[in-house]
């Protein structure tokens, strides 16, 4: 009753041959790995017992399936658009049961909403994948790819990959500035002291990523923490960005650039490339109309002042046209805003990308 037609056997044999032959053609585009928080989580938290999730409507309303995926967006998120720009398929969440076989060669997304640089960031979200756990999964991934294409090719796939790391915003929003505080951080440290602590820990995190084989890593600085609808709703009287939060980003981000430059000197190569996410966001926050947005203050999905209170869920206000809003929910940009950010990552000047933009990286790496 279940006899297998010969054609299927041939196809299976071919697939096995392709999978076991260490052939460069097995993967056309370079692999892409993603680590970090909700700005880049593509659905790992769907598989976890956490409150930090984006798996109910209207999340995903503009995604090709029009269904929630776990991305904190109305549609695509930053990793999706970067994949598009480098000619790759989108990376699957590492916890997805669909991530098997040849799909592993595309790369993987290990990000988990709610996490930060510090282990004590995001404790309120319970079971999330903190950064060192993301690395454990990355090691497990490498073993699985080794079994598929052999250790030498697996090593090469990782060394030649592009990596995206997005961390730090939650250490301020969901730790230092959280009211009421869940940790002692704001009593222990001033903002400059706390920023230096974050950079010390972040340096260890990035060094470890290098040890794990990463050789091209895009590191995004923190966005405009004081201008997101959540900050406006909680602290702003007149719609002005919250100066104390903006100041924290203005202290943290230059320290991050400096630290990655030091690491690059240590490793003797431009491994780490920083993206000035703060400035990329401020461009359309300062002049929304110039970029085709009707507002940069009001979230598309939410409730209360600026639609910036609580979470986005089926009972929230939902704007009819997501293309004219910069913010999707209280913290995260719309797909349209993400595309503007990705464009600067691809082709931005040295004001946005340090020491170079992604199109230069792609051109350089294709020659070597």
Ligand X SMILES: *[C@@H]1O[C@H](CO)[C@@H](O)[C@H](O)[C@H]1NC(C)=O
List residues binding ligand X (CB under 6 A).
119, 132, 201, 347, 349, 356-357, 359-360
Question: Residue 162 CB, nearest distance to ligand X (Å)?
Answer: 16
State the residue for tokens 């290990």. 110
The torsion angles phi and psi of 107, rounded to 5 degrees, stand at: 125, -160
Question: Residue 307 CB, nearest distance to ligand X (Å)?
Answer: 34
Q: Which of 37, 171, 270, 329 is catalytic?
A: 329
Report residue 279 as tokens: 């400035």
Cα gap 159→30, rounded to integer Å: 10
DSSP 161: -
- Residue whose CB is less far from ligand X, 174 or 303: 174
| Catalytic residue status for 332 | yes
Question: Residue 76 CB, nearest distance to ligand X (Å)?
Answer: 22
Phi-psi bin for 121: left (phi > 0), alpha (psi -120 to 50), beta? beta
Cα gap 86→65, rounded to integer Å: 22
Answer yes or no: are the C-beta atoms of 313 and 56 closer than 8 Å.
yes
Closest by Cα among 30, 10, 26 to 18: 26
- Residue whose CB is less far from ligand X, 201 or 244: 201
Question: Residue 358 CB, nearest distance to ligand X (Å)?
Answer: 8
- Residue whose CB is less far from ligand X, 132 or 267: 132
- Residue whose CB is less far from ligand X, 183 or 359: 359
- Residue whose CB is less far from ligand X, 54 or 164: 164
Question: Residue 350 CB, nearest distance to ligand X (Å)?
Answer: 6
Q: Which of 88, 283, 332, 350 is catalytic?
A: 332
DSSP alpha helix (H) spans, the chain:
6-20, 78-85, 131-149, 151-159, 169-171, 185-188, 191-211, 229-235, 243-267, 277-286, 335-347, 358-367
Sheet with 107-109, strands from edge to edge, namely: 107-109, 32-36, 162-166, 217-220, 272-275, 353-354
Q: Which of 37, 38, 96, 171 is catalytic?
A: 38
Residues noted as catalytic = 38, 329, 332
């Amino acid at each position: 009753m279940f006899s297998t037609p010969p054609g299927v056997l041939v196809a299976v044999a071919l697939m096995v041959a392709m999978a076991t032959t260490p052939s460069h053609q097995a993967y056309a585009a370079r692999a892409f790995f993603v680590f970090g928080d909700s700005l880049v989580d593509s659905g790992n938290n769907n598989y976890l017992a956490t409150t930090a999730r984006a798996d109910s409507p209207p999340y995903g309303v503009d995604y090709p399936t029009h269904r929630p995926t776990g991305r904190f967006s109305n549609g695509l998120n930053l990793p999706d658009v970067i994949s598009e720009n480098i000619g790759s398929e989108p990376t699957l969440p590492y916890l997805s049961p669909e991530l098997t076989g040849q799909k592993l060669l595309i790369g993987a997304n290990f990000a988990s909403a709610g996490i930060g640089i510090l282990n004590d960031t995001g404790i309120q979200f319970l079971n999330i994948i903190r950064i060192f756990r993301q690395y454990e999964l990355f090691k497990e991934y490498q073993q699985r790819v080794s079994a598929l294409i052999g250790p030498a090719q697996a090593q090469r796939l990782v060394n030649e990959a592009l990596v995206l790391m997005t961390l730090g915003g939650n250490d301020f929003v969901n730790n230092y500035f959280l009211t009421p505080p869940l940790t002692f951080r704001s009593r222990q440290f001033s903002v400059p002291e706390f920023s230096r602590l974050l950079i010390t820990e972040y340096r260890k995190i990035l060094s470890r990523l290098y040890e794990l084989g990463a050789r091209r890593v895009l590191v995004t600085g923190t966005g405009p923490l004081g201008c997101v609808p959540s900050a406006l709703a909680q602290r702003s009287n007149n719609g002005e960005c919250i100066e104390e939060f903006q100041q924290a980003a203005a202290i943290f981000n230059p320290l991050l650039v400096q630290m990655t430059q030091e690491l690059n000197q240590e490793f003797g190569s431009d491994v780490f490339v920083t993206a000035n996410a703060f400035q990329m966001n401020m461009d359309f926050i300062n002049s929304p109309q110039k970029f085709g947005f009707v507002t940069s203050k009001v979230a598309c999905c939410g409730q209360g002042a600026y639609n910036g209170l609580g979470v986005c869920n089926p009972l929230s206000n939902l704007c009819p046209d997501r293309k004219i809003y910069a913010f999707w929910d209280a913290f995260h940009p719309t797909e349209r805003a993400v595309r503007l950010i990705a464009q600067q990552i691809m082709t931005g000047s040295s004001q946005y990308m340090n020491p170079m933009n992604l199109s230069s990286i792609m051109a350089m790496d294709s020659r070597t």
